[in-house]
Amino acid sequence: MKHTPHQYVHGHSDRESDRLRYQASKLAELLHHDTRYPPKSRVLEAACGVGAQTVILARNSPGAEFVSVDISAESLAAARDRVSHEGILNVTFRRADLYDLPFGPETFDHVFVCFLLEHLPDPILALNNLKRILRPKGIITVIEGDHGSALLYPDSPHAHRVIDCLVELQRQTGGNALIGRELWHLMMDAGFRNVTVSPRLVYSDESRPENVEGVKNIFIAMVDGVRETAIRQGLIDPGSWDEGIRDLHRTTEQGGTFCYTFFKAVGRKEG
């Protein structure tokens, strides 16, 4: 079954590319410390975007052979530049749609997916397609966020309202910004076995300035990135939007705290 490419809620602007790269480097230890692939293993990175995760994966497993695919030619070009700039040699890129993958069955030992399923109308179909190209007993790793996991102090209905606007816009493009909590079930429903999910928590207060910067540049920047669309669609008025963003920033100031959970799932194909 072939799907038309969906609309990516955050867009493909330079600002969003910078945000994805910053996000990947900031979260590298938290999300990737336990992902290592053996020498000579064949790894498909599905939806590599601008290569933000690619450079981390490839450096952490220098003997593995990565094939990184994305539907966006523009993102792939940026990913290629990034990887070659870093002198990384164990990655090849290919333009491909997850719903029509140009690989034979059982081609890869591992599949890696990050921040993708949340944007797809049919994540189980996508997982099934990835399962097809995985060899028996091959391993899939999936990392997703869940915007409903944001805990704010001081709490603010205005701040939750702007987050809800992003959740709604993502829903309108067929995605699910609350997908992290569903990962275990999605993987099981797609037929993977030995599925384990580990929540990875990001927490910031003023005693952790590096985390505070991350909250501003990753989470708040991501929410604020849909400002114009949310207003244009009549989900919120400009004043309420700015109030919500201001209250999100208050969680990063003196006396504030912020907490968010990513979900990392690992599962095995039967064989």
Ligand X SMILES: C[S@@+](CC[C@H](N)C(=O)[O-])C[C@H]1O[C@@H](n2cnc3c(N)ncnc32)[C@H](O)[C@@H]1O
Contact present, 50 and 39 (Cβ < 8 Å): no
| Closer to ligand X by Cβ: residue 70 or 182 | 70
Given the rule CB under 6 A, which residues bind ligand X?
5-6, 8, 20, 24, 47-49, 52-53, 70-72, 75, 97-99, 114-116, 119
For the CB of residue 37, give the shortest distance to ligand X in the complex, in Å: 16
Question: Residue 12 or residue 250: which is nearer to ligand X going by CB?
Answer: 12
What is the spatial distance between Cα 260 and Cα 181, in angstroms, rounded to a whole number? 12
Q: How far is the CB of 54 from ligand X (least distance, A)?
A: 8
Tokens of 49: 């975007």
201 burial type by CB count under 10 A (0-12 exposed, 13-18 middle, 19+ buried): exposed
Alpha carbon 265 to chain centroid, angstroms:
12
In terms of CB distance, is 129 or 204 closer to ligand X?
129
Residue 264 Cβ vs ligand X, minimum distance, rounded to whole Å: 12
Residue nearest to ligand X (CB): 49
CB contact at 8 A, 111 and 14: no
Q: Which residues pair with 113 in a beta bridge?
A: 46, 142
The residue among 101 and 256 lying less far from ligand X, judged by its C-beta, is: 101
From the CB of 21, what's the least distance to ligand X, in Å?
A: 8
Distances from the Cα of 63 to the Cα of 4, 37, 53, 87, 134, angstroms:
35, 8, 17, 14, 19
Distance of closest approach, residue 206 Cβ to ligand X, in angstroms:
28
